[in-house]
Amino acid sequence: MGRPSLTTESGLVIYGINNIFLVRPDVGQGRVECRIKGKILKESEAEYNPLTAGDRVEFERDSEEMGMILSRSPRKNSFTRWNIKGRMPQTIGANIDLLVCLASPEIPPFRPRFIDRVLVAAERESIPAAIFLNKTDQGFTDELALRLAVYESLGYPVFTGSALKEGPGKKFMEALKGKTTLFFGQSGVGKSTLVNRLVPDAAQKTAEVSEKYLRGRHTTTYSILFERPDNSALIDSPGVRDFFIHDISRDQLSHCFPEMVPYAGMCRFNPCTHTHEPGCVVREAVSAGKIHQDRYESYSRILEELNIS
């Protein structure tokens, strides 16, 4: 058994922790544990974590199971979370075909404001987004149904189900086919439970939501990709408590609200922040009930934050 020759291979990043990256080679079986050759990738010099689940890389092996990453292939897109007011960016998935924002009705509580932020971030990256309301066994009120209908009317598919009890349903499974889907959401909404349901040998850790605070326990700590036999892949990601919108300009923000897009450039002032300016067609649309008040409220709050940061 000699040392394998140094040929360049390509592969898919399954996860990265502490600068060790697990790569699934495109050709052949198994997994290769890789480090980055020369410690820094030129494609990612300014980034907090250079590689994440879903990235495609070129690597060379120094043994059957160990190797060195030479480069990162250009990304179609990537999804980054900025917690603590934009001070700690973390890329949690790359080359995503669908972002599913998971939510739950009660434990943890349903937070449309949080969902709106995630949708804005997805729009910004042009990543198609959908909502999965999990834990329907914990209750499903008419009010919640109405709130979800708003998202559906905006073109975001809405799925409901229970990862733990009856499963996610056929419609959801159809939507995942052939795609790389990122599961994202507050801690404790059931992302890992859903992954375990859909990938029988995933064995992702799950943990009960704190009864006292109705918050999850941040059980998943790094993004990890699972491939399914139907040519789809799922990325489980670490849950967050808050989600901040960061590197987006104030003018750009309304482009990330699909219901505001038809009014682009129609206000008396241009640019218009759609907050106080006279002759603002967006605010007229809110008053006329064409834009949902609550979505407008999310817009205003994010804009306010962008002013401060």
Ligand X SMILES: Nc1nc2c(ncn2[C@@H]2O[C@H](COP(=O)(O)OP(=O)(O)OP(=O)(O)O)[C@@H](O)[C@H]2O)c(=O)[nH]1
**Interface with Zn ion by CB under 5 A: which residues?**
267, 272, 274, 280, 282
Which chain residues interact with Mg ion by CB under 5 A? 191-192, 219-220
Binding partner of 187, given Mg ion, Zn ion, ligand X, none, CB within 5-8 angstroms per partner class: ligand X
Minimum separation from the CB atom of position 219 to Mg ion (A):
5
Which chain residues interact with ligand X by CB under 6 A? 134-135, 137-138, 162-165, 187-193, 206-209, 216-220, 238-239
CA nearest to 97, candidates 73, 127, 68, 122 = 127
Residue 2's Cβ-count burial label (10 Å; 0-12, 13-18, 19+) is: exposed
Minimum separation from the CB atom of position 235 to ligand X (A):
12
CA nearest to 232, candidates 175, 185, 194 = 175
Of the pair 24, 197, the CB lying nearest ligand X is at 197
- What are 164's two structure tokens? 């733990």
CA distance 23 to 17: 12
Binding partner of 280, given Mg ion, Zn ion, ligand X, none, CB within 5-8 angstroms per partner class: Zn ion
What does the CA dihedral 121, 193, 113, 209 come to, rounded to 10 degrees? Answer: -140
Minimum separation from the CB atom of position 243 to Mg ion (A):
16
Binding partner of 302, given Mg ion, Zn ion, ligand X, none, CB within 5-8 angstroms per partner class: none
Minimum separation from the CB atom of position 309 to ligand X (A):
25
Cβ atoms of 31 and 49 within 8 Å: the answer is: no
Minimum separation from the CB atom of position 264 to Zn ion (A):
10
CA distance 217 to 107: 12
Amino acid at residue number 59: F
Binding partner of 274, given ligand X, Zn ion, Mg ion, none, CB within 5-8 angstroms per partner class: Zn ion
Binding partner of 134, given Mg ion, Zn ion, ligand X, none, CB within 5-8 angstroms per partner class: ligand X
Of the pair 165, 177, the CB lying nearest ligand X is at 165
DSSP string computed for 130-183: EEEE--GGG---HHHHHHHHHHHHTT--EEE-BTTTTBS-HHHHHHHTT-EEEE
Binding partner of 267, given Mg ion, Zn ion, ligand X, none, CB within 5-8 angstroms per partner class: Zn ion
Of the pair 131, 282, the CB lying nearest Zn ion is at 282
> Residue 227's CB: how many other CB atoms inside 10 A?
14
Binding partner of 216, given Zn ion, ligand X, Mg ion, none, CB within 5-8 angstroms per partner class: ligand X
Of the pair 11, 190, the CB lying nearest ligand X is at 190
CA nearest to 102, candidates 24, 164, 159 = 159
Cβ atoms of 208 and 224 within 8 Å: the answer is: no
Minimum separation from the CB atom of position 220 to Mg ion (A):
3
Question: Coil, strand or helix: which one is 252?
Answer: helix
Of the pair 174, 211, the CB lying nearest ligand X is at 211
Minimum separation from the CB atom of position 270 to Zn ion (A):
9
What does the CA dihedral 296, 301, 307, 309 come to, rounded to 10 degrees? Answer: -140
Write the DSSP symbol of residue 69. Answer: E
Of the pair 32, 272, the CB lying nearest Zn ion is at 272
Of the pair 242, 277, the CB lying nearest Zn ion is at 277
Minimum separation from the CB atom of position 140 to ligand X (A):
12
Of the pair 95, 192, the CB lying nearest Mg ion is at 192
